[in-house]
Structure 1
C-alpha cells in the first residue's frame, strides 16, 4: 500500500493489520510475563520439585527411571524409590504395612497410578500421574501404586 502526498512523492505505508499484529503480540507477551508465578516479586518461579512447607523451601530428589514416595508432604521424611528392575508393570505394589506416602515424584518414563487403598482398589481414591509429575501434597495418603504400560 502506498500514500501519495500533494508533492507527488510515493511514501510506502504498512498495512493496518501489520501494526495491530505487533501490538497484540507485545500485549500477549506482557500478559504472559505478568501472570508467571514469581515474576511480580522478581524471584524465579518454583520448580515442580520444590515445595514450601512452614515458610521453608524443600527440594525432592528422584533419579531418572524411578518412582519416589516420601512419608511427609513437601518431599520430606523417609524416601522410598522404585524402578522397573524391582517392580512389575501393571502389578499392584503395596507399601509396607503402616507406611503411607504424602508426596511423590514420577520419573519412570511411564504413567503411575497411586491408590489410597493398600490393595489398589478403585473403589477408594486413586489418581494417575504422567511421567515427570511431582506432587508435594496429593489429596490423600498413598498406600499402593501401579506403574502403567503407557
Structure 2
C-alpha cells in the first residue's frame, strides 16, 4: 500500500489528540449513526484527515473523507462478526480509531474471494481504499 495513503504513528496521534481536545464534545452515536464526531485534523504532510472520535471506526462513501460517514463504536459492534454497510452503499475512505485491527471487505458478506485488507487500530486514516468497502470485521488484538 502506498505510504502516502495510510497515515499512522505517534505524530498523527499527537496531532489528532490536539485537534480533538480543542473540538467541542458531541453526543454519543449509535453503531449505525451517520455523524461526524470531531473536527477534522491535518497531518504533518498537509493532508486533511476525516473527523473520527476515539473508539470508533468511521467509513466515508467517497475518497478523501468526503460525504457523511457511517460510524461504528467498539462498545456496540461484535468482535469477529461481519458487519455489512447498508444495502447498496459502500465506502471509499476510512479511519480506524477502535484500538483493534479491522479488516474491510469488498464483499458485503466478508467473503475472502474478493478484495480485503486489515488496518491497525489506534489511529489509521485511509483517504482512498483500493476497492469499494461493503463490510468489515473488528478483531481481538
TM-score using structure 1 length: 0.62
Q: After superposition, where does 1:60-75 map in structure 2 within 5 Å?
A: 60-75=50-65
Higher relative contact order at CA 8 Å, sep ≥6: structure 1 or structure 2? 2
Per the alignment, in what secondary structure is the counterpart of residue 46 of structure 1?
coil
- 2:44 is matched with which residue? 45
TM-score using structure 2 length: 0.66
Q: Which runs of 5+ in 2 are unaligned?
A: 1-42
- 2:98 is matched with which residue? 108
Q: After superposition, where does 1:1-150 map in structure 2 within 5 Å?
A: 45-46=44-45, 50=47, 58-131=48-121, 132-150=123-141
Separation in 1, partners of 2:115, 2:99: 23
Separation in 1, partners of 2:108, 2:61: 15
How many equivalent residue pairs?
98
Deviation at 1:61, TM superposition (A): 0.5
Would you tell me which structure has more strand in proportion to its own residues? 1
**Structure 1 residue runs of 4 or more that deviate by more than 3 Å after TM superposition:** none
Q: Based on CA coordinates, which of the two structures has the bigger radius of gyration? A: 1
RMSD: 1.4
Q: Which runs of 5+ in 1 are unaligned?
A: 1-43, 51-57
